[in-house]
Amino acid sequence: MQTALAIAVIAAFASVAAAVLSYRSSKSATEGAHRIASLNHRITALDAESAQFREDFRGFHAAMGSVKGLTDVGALLAATEILQANPRSSDALIQVTDTLRGATQAIVGGTAPRFRTAGGTAAPLSDESFLTLRREFREALAAIARERATLVAQRERASS
């Protein structure tokens, strides 16, 4: 009888231990799944941020390229504000878009100063402004790519 009781107690402890291990395993799996889901959401958000920044940048260039008269300046003003409001726009990008917008307005208004381009010809917009704009755009996209790569690496570690 004592042997049967000892076996029953051991079986009960084994059952409780198995239940605790099962609970811990389930909790760990749930936490891992939540962590992976959170990382996936953050990666998706970064992808959307990148796409929006690219679209805002395209919109600015499209608006600059479509200014043919004073009536077209409103679209450029709006596109400038949209790009500048993007959280990925650096101070340098904001400054250069203001410079380019102002120069475009001056060209349309007939009051544009002349700058020397890299090729030595006179132009109302300097090459440096466009180079700065391009550099700031690329740096913002590179920062997003680095953040994304970090999140992907974290997701891979969480998955294994």
The verdict on residue 33 lying in a domain is no
CA atoms within 13 A on the CB side of 141: 13
Within-domain flag for 31: no
Helix axes 2-65, 91-109, angle to 10 degrees: 20
Report which of residues 85 and 17 the model is more confident about. Answer: 85
Record the pTM.
0.74
Sorting pLDDT into bands at 50, 70 and 90, what band is 26? Answer: confident
Give the chain's domain count: 1
Q: Are 89 and 83 in contact (CB under 8 A)?
A: yes
**Mean pLDDT for the chain?**
84
Determine, yes or no, domain membership for 8. Answer: no
Least trusted range by pLDDT, from 1-5, 38-42, 90-94: 1-5
Q: What is the pLDDT of residue 114?
A: 55
- Whether 28 is covered by a domain: the verdict is no
What is the C-alpha separation between 67 and 148, in angstroms, rounded?
36
Q: Is residue 15 part of a domain?
A: no
The proportion of the chain whose per-residue pLDDT surpasses 70, expressed as a percent, equals 89
Residue 130 pLDDT greater than 70, yes or no: yes
**Residue 127: pLDDT band with limits 50, 70, 90:** confident
DSSP letter for 160, please: -
pLDDT value, residue 72: 82
Token pair belonging to 15: 């059952």
Please tell me what DSSP assigns to residue 86.
Answer: S
In a domain, 26, yes or no: no
**Which of 65-69, 77-81, 97-101: highest mean pLDDT?**
77-81
Question: Cβ atoms within 10 A of the Cβ of 43, count?
Answer: 18
**Which one has a higher pLDDT value, 88 or 34?**
88
Q: Do β-strands 122-123 and 115-116 pair in parallel, antiparallel, or remain unpaired?
A: antiparallel
Q: Does residue 132 fall inside a structural domain?
A: yes
Domain that holds residue 46: 42-159
The answer to the question of residue 11 being in a domain is no
